[in-house]
A and B are shown apart, each in its own frame.
Chain A
Amino acid sequence: MSYLAFSKSAARFLTEKTGLSPEKEVVLAYSIELLALNLGNILFTLLLAALLGVLPGVLSCLAAAFLFRHTAGGAHSNSPWRCAAVTIAVYPAMALLAVFLSQYGQTLTGVLAAAALLTGLVTLAVLAPVDSPAAPIISPHRRKKLKVLSFAVLASVAAAIFFFRRSDWLYAPQIQVCLALSVLWVSFMLGKPGHRLMCLVDRIKIREVRNL
C-alpha cells in the first residue's frame, strides 16, 4: 500500500502508542491520508473562492460534488497533488461561470437545471456507481445500495434547486446554477470523457524541484 509519508508516520506513531496490530496501521494511514486530503482540498478551494468572491457558490458545488462522489464515484487522478489542483481550479471556475450565467434570468437557470438533472438521472441510471482498481466495489448489495443513495442525492439536489428558485436570497440564482453545473460535472466524471480527462491530467509533466 502506498500512502504519503506524513500519513505513514502519523499512523506508525498512533499504532505504537496504542499497541494496535500492524494491520490496523495500514487502516490508520488510509484514514489519515483521506482526512488530510479532503480537508486540504476543501480549505484551499474555499480560500480561493473567498478571494474571488464566490464563496456561497463554491460551498454548494463542493457539498453536491462531495455527496455525489461518495455515492456514485467517478474518475480519479493517480496523484493527490493533481487531484488537489483539479479540485481547487474546477469548483471556483464553476462558481464564476454560475455568476455569469445567473445574470440571464430564471428562464436560462431553469432550462440549465432541468437539462442537468435529466443528464444526471440518465448517467446515474446507466453508470453509477463507478469504482476504481484502488477501491473496488466487490459486493453486489453494496453496489445496489450506492446506486440508490446516488439517486437520493440527485433528488436532494433537485429539491435544493427548487427551494432556491423560490428564495429571494441574493445568492439564490447563483447557487441554482452552481448545483446544476455540479450535476453536469459529476455526470461528466462518471463517463469515459471524464476518465480521459483525468488520464490527460496524469500525463502532464511537472518538472521536479530538487534541493541542492
Chain B
Amino acid sequence: MSKIAVRLIVFATTTLLFLANVFAASACGSYHYQPEVPESLRR
C-alpha cells in the first residue's frame, strides 16, 4: 500500500474517532434514530 493511502486511512480513522466523541456528547446522534453508544463513550 502506498504512503499516501496509509496516511489517508490514518486521517480518516482519526477524524472518525473525533466525530464519535462529538456524536456521543450530543443528546441524539441522528434525526430520528440512535445507534447504541459504545460503553467507552458513555458519560
Number of chain B residues close to chain A: CB under 8 A: 30
A105–B24 Cα distance when bound, in Å, is: 42
A82–B34 Cα distance when bound, in Å, is: 12
Measured between beta carbons, the chain B residues less than 8 angstroms from A83 are: 30-33
Selecting from A23-31, A114-122, A155-163, the interface stretch reads A23-31
Please state if A87 and B42 are interface contacts (CB–CB under 8 Å): no
Known: A69-B27, A77-B33, A83-B32. A26 touches B38 (CB 8 A): yes
CB-based A-B contact count at 8 angstroms: 134
Interface digits, A6-29 against B, CB 8 Å rule (1 contact, 0 not)? 000000001001101001101110
A41–B42 Cα distance when bound, in Å, is: 25
How distant is A150 from chain B, measured CB to nearest CB, in Å? Answer: 8
Please state if B33 and A37 are interface contacts (CB–CB under 8 Å): yes
How distant is A141 from chain B, measured CB to nearest CB, in Å? Answer: 9
Measured between beta carbons, the chain B residues less than 8 angstroms from A34 are: 19-20, 23, 29-30, 35
Interface digits, A62-95 against B, CB 8 Å rule (1 contact, 0 not)? 0001100111111111111011101100000000
A27–B38 Cα distance when bound, in Å, is: 6
Please state if A31 and B36 are interface contacts (CB–CB under 8 Å): no
Q: 9 tightest CB-CB pairs across the interface, nearest first?
A: A73-B27, A83-B33, A31-B20, A70-B26, A83-B32, A31-B16, A129-B27, A135-B37, A87-B31
Which residues of A are at the interface with B, using a C-beta cutoff of 8 A?
1-3, 14, 17-18, 20, 23-24, 26-28, 30-35, 37-38, 41, 65-66, 69-80, 82-84, 86-87, 128-132, 134-139, 142, 146, 189, 198
